[in-house]
């Protein structure tokens, strides 16, 4: 497995006005990120609006990313759900030869307790595939506690990392303090990237970085080098735009930023809607400052 460290970008799926996939824009986005210093890509994550893509569209988007990336950056594939057996079967029946790992979100909607979450990942671990656990309570309705994460990490070596997006930053620090050597933690919250990396994290799986890959990857590299003051200068420059892109949900905010840059159009599929006029104006003003 290629090492995953630094800035990983959760790619959006660009759409045209008729809501079909805009493959030219996807190509431009990939090239923008590779030239900007992004270190790996997440394919078919939440930010990709994977839930509203057909199976055929998902497969075509994956093939397009593979073709354009052409082995330049490591890739991680999002496969998750709230039917444990179905997720396990999907992992086992997907060609993963071009992917370093699976990013698999904890089960949503069902709201399993901590033992249920542990048993879910135990079953996924039986596939033998490299898996990144993804904790995002704001979407799943249930937090994966630090204790459960550490238990999973200790029991299943192929679950080698977590994308942690708990709103409670002390949970990140608890995992970093108590984890076994080699278990990786990526910030799943763009705004926490710098403090978490400085505390011993391995970087971020980011949304905002696909618009500002050079600045974001520079910030994370400075953090790895212990250059705290220089890293916080970049953090402070990007913190307002980072908050704005999530103000009305993801990915309508990041699509608006990318539309301002001329890379994609700000079109999302229902039940999501595009950024409001008020948010568009705020994003324009903040981008001028950057």
Among this protein's residues, is 109 annotated catalytic?
Answer: no
Per DSSP, what are the bridge partners of residue 270?
none
Looking at 118, 134, 172, 192, which residue is catalytic?
A: 134
Q: Could you write out the DSSP letters of every residue in the chain?
A: -----EEEEE----B-TTS-B-HHHHHHHHHHHHHHT--EEEES-GGGTGGGS-HHHHHHHHHHHHHHHTTSS-EEEE---S-HHHHHHHHHTS--TT-SEEEEEPPPSS---HHHHHHHHHHHHTT---EEEEE-HHHHSS---HHHHHHHHHH-TTEEEEEE--S-HHHHHHHHHHPPTT-EEEESSGGGHHHHHHTT--EEEESGGGTSHHHHHHHHHHHHTT-HHHHHHHHHHHHHHHHHHTTT-TTHHHHHHHHHTTSS-----TTS-PPPHHHHHHHHHHHHH-
- Asked if 257 and 290 touch (Cβ cutoff 8 Å), the reply is no
205 annotated as belonging to a binding site for a ligand: yes
CB-CB contact of 64 with 242 (8 Å)? no
Catalytic residue from among 163, 179, 255, 282: 163
Q: Is residue 134 among the annotated active site residues?
A: yes
Whether 127 has a binding-site annotation, put simply, is: no
Omega prior to 111 cis, within 30 of 0: no
Task: Please report, in range form, the residues annotated as the binding site.
Answer: 47, 205
Annotated binding residues for pyruvate, written as ranges, equal: 47, 205
Q: Which residues are catalytic?
A: 134, 163
């Amino acid at each position: 497995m290629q090492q995953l460290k630094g800035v990983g970008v959760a790619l959006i799926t660009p759409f045209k006005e008729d809501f079909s996939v805009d493959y030219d824009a996807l190509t431009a986005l990939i090239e923008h990120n590779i030239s900007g210093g992004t270190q790996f890509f997440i394919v078919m994550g939440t930010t990709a609006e994977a839930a509203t893509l057909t199976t055929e569209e998902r497969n075509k988007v994956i093939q397009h990313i593979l073709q354009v990336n052409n082995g330049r950056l490591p890739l991680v594939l999002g496969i998750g759900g709230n039917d444990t057996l179905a997720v396990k079967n999907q992992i086992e029946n997907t060609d993963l030869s071009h992917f370093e790992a699976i990013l698999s979100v904890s089960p949503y909607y069902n709201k399993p307790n901590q033992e249920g979450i542990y048993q879910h990942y135990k079953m996924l671990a039986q596939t033998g595939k490299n898996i990144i656990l993804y904790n995002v309570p704001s979407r799943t309705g249930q937090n994966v506690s630090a204790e459960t994460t550490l238990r999973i990490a200790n029991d299943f070596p192929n679950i080698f990392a977590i994308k942690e997006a708990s709103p409670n930053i002390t949970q990140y620090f608890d995992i970093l303090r108590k984890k076994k050597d080699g278990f990786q933690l990526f910030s799943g919250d763009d705004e926490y990237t710098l403090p978490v990396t400085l505390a011993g994290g391995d970087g971020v799986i980011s949304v905002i970085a696909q618009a500002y890959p050079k600045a974001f990857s520079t910030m994370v590299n400075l953090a790895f080098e212990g250059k705290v003051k220089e890293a916080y200068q970049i953090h402070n420059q990007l913190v307002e735009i980072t908050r704005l892109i999530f103000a009305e949900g993801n990915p309508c905010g990041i699509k608006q930023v990318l539309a301002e840059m001329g890379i994609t159009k700000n079109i999302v599929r229902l039940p999501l809607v595009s950024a409001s006029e008020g948010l568009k104006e705020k994003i324009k003003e903040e981008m001028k400052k950057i």
